[in-house]
Amino acid sequence: MAKAIIDGTEIEVDKGTSILRAAADAGHEIPHFCYHPALSSPANCRMCLVEVEGMPKLMPSCYTQVSDNMVVHTKSERVIKAQKAVLEFILINHPVDCPICDQAGECKLQDYYIDYDTQDSRLRSQKQNKVKAHAIGPEVVYDGERCILCTRCIRFCEEVTETAELTVVERGDRAEIRTFPGKSLDNDYSVCVTDICPVGALTARDFRFKTRVWLLTSTESVCTGCSQGCNIHLDHFRNEAQRYRPRFNAEVNDYWMCDSGRLSYKELHADRLLAPVINGAEANWYEVCRNTANKLTKAVEAEKNIAFVVSPQASCEDLLIAKRFTDEVLKTDSLYLGGKAAGKADGFLRQADNNPNRRGMEAVFQDRAFKPFSDLIEEIKSQKVDVLYMMGSHVPVDADSRAEFLNALSNVELFILQTPTQGDLSEMSNISLPSCTHAEKSGTFVNFDGIAQVFQQAFAPKDGALADGEILTRIAKRMDVDFGYKNLSEIQDTMFNIPEPPPAEVAEETQTEPSAE
């Protein structure tokens, strides 16, 4: 343990802790560009210089370890002078094209200029011209003029993805970030470099010129791309998701997320089903609930074979309602497993299971047995299924089996589909009910590791969409079964059916690390 005094605050930290981290613990922010908590410290930006008593020169706080009885000043006159000098040095060749730059609004250089510099440029020389809008990878665009050569991106590729595509070429004011010859920045985590880039040098191809970041509202959510359940910021503007950004969670995804998960926000708005449809005609919720309830009541009374497809894409809250719906309303135990087909794991974040809530589904349904989807296809073919109720339009089988399933559907008397998207499946259904995506409701997903994670509603449901649980509750009410839940927290209290403690551990969302942008 080492004791140090930072700006008058006495603090005790482990040996080997950098001054920057110790200062962050003590509540003093030290500006920094090249330092990132998940990466090594090259100490090349010199923005984090602090004055240490007894040292003749200013020390880079990200690299200097705290030693016993160290006295550090982060806001002394020398430090302030150094910070201004560093910023002025960086701005010699920075184009200051903030109106064009996508980073404007979340740019560290902008923020630090306002916080630590605010002086006019004294240089009248021509700025260096470097590469502009260079496609450094399929998903990333590089602007050499804006680059401050902090090398965060290079270290990310070396230390996190271990693909090492990037390096610095040339020297002095002609230095630029480039890929090694013959390589391109196309690993599965390449867009993460745009998150860690402190300026607008590296920007995402997908988000380029799309909107301005200050217009975005950020909601804490969870990525639904696979069962890893990466924590994300869901940035949205005017009821439309604009991008996902990874949210720090040491237990799940650290600071990162994969490219395919990052782009999965597009599914939130693609081909949405906007109103309930009965036999091809749009209806309102009152009509459609009454109609569905009548048909289901008749089917239950006639003791027909009712099959229910449970989706591991749904949240735990919705699945609890689905469980009670099958038990108390449909009175059936022929449950089948829906959801997406399995993909490939890459050993880092990406999991083979593409469904975000399989563990949650198992926890909610407990001892109930699920039959595989292929069994359902066989049973439909042999006309053993009269009524099919399906949650979600994903089918966990390959394309051939899917076609087989679609063909066999004509054997089903009544096919009810609950889905956010429209497609061939919703066209074949007798009744299709628009449900909302995870961005439009709050809920809980349990990832592959058994960590239950809460996601928040980002914006209002699109047109007529309702949460899965709400649809089932309404139909059940029409069939004289009242589940009796008043709000989401009542469902959350009982959904895992474990008396104490109610939900499983909820991931810590507060971030105490120094800012990592």
Partner 1 sequence: MSAKKTENTVVVRKVVRRKMNFAERTYIPEFAKGLAVTMRQFFKNSQPNVEKRDTFTRMYPEEKTVYPDRYRGHHRLMLRDDGQVRCVACMCCSTVCPANCIHITAAEHDDISIEKYPSVFVIDELRCIMCGLCVDACPCDAIRMDSGEHIQPFGERGEAFLNRDLLMSKGSLSMAVQGGENG
CA distance 284 to 271: 19
3-state class (DSSP) for residue 499: coil
E strands, 239-345, in order: 241-246, 277-278, 281-282, 306-310, 335-337
CB of 132 to partner 1, least distance (A): 5
Among 2, 5, 71, 96, binds partner 1 (CB under 8 A): 96
Question: Closest CB to partner 1 among 209 and 280?
Answer: 209
Contact window for partner 1 (CB under 8 A) among 39-47, 124-132, 347-355, 448-456: 124-132
175 sits in which H/E element: none
Contact window for partner 1 (CB under 8 A) among 202-210, 324-332, 451-459, 487-495: 202-210
Q: Per the structure block, which two tokens stand in for 47?
A: 């923005």
Among 211, 456, 494, 515, binds partner 1 (CB under 8 A): 211
Question: Closest CB to partner 1 among 100 and 460?
Answer: 100
User: Does 239 engage in binding with partner 1 (CB under 8 A)?
Assistant: no
Q: CB within 8 A of 271, min separation 6: which ones?
A: 421, 422, 423
Question: Closest CB to partner 1 among 99 and 484?
Answer: 99
How distant, in Å, are the alpha carbons of 42, 53, 139 from that of 153? Answer: 12, 33, 14
CB of 98 to partner 1, least distance (A): 7
Among 46, 127, 295, 371, binds partner 1 (CB under 8 A): 127
Contact window for partner 1 (CB under 8 A) among 46-54, 119-127, 182-190, 407-415: 119-127
CA distance 444 to 453: 5
E strands, 154-264, in order: 166-169, 176-179, 202-204, 217-222, 231-236, 241-246
Among 132, 304, 368, 402, binds partner 1 (CB under 8 A): 132
CA dihedral 82, 36, 263, 403 (to 10 degrees): 170
End-to-end CA distance of the chain: 29
CA distance 247 to 262: 12
CA distance 19 to 327: 59
Q: Binding-site residue total for partner 1 (CB under 8 A)?
A: 20
CB of 133 to partner 1, least distance (A): 6
CB of 209 to partner 1, least distance (A): 4
Amino acid at 175: A
Among 15, 81, 212, 344, binds partner 1 (CB under 8 A): 212
- Residues from 342 through 401 that contact partner 1 (CB under 8 A): none
Question: Closest CB to partner 1 among 209 and 486?
Answer: 209
User: Does 208 engage in binding with partner 1 (CB under 8 A)?
Assistant: yes
Among 85, 215, 270, 506, binds partner 1 (CB under 8 A): 215
Q: How many residues does the chain have?
A: 517
User: Does 124 engage in binding with partner 1 (CB under 8 A)?
Assistant: yes
User: Does 428 engage in binding with partner 1 (CB under 8 A)?
Assistant: no
Count CB-CB contacts under 10 A for residue 221: 27
CA distance 47 to 476: 62
Contact window for partner 1 (CB under 8 A) among 10-18, 98-106, 172-180, 503-511: 98-106
User: Does 100 engage in binding with partner 1 (CB under 8 A)?
Assistant: yes
Phi, psi of 473 (to 5 degrees): -60, -45
Binding residues for partner 1, rule: CB under 8 A, are 95-100, 104, 121, 123-124, 127, 132-133, 208-212, 214-215
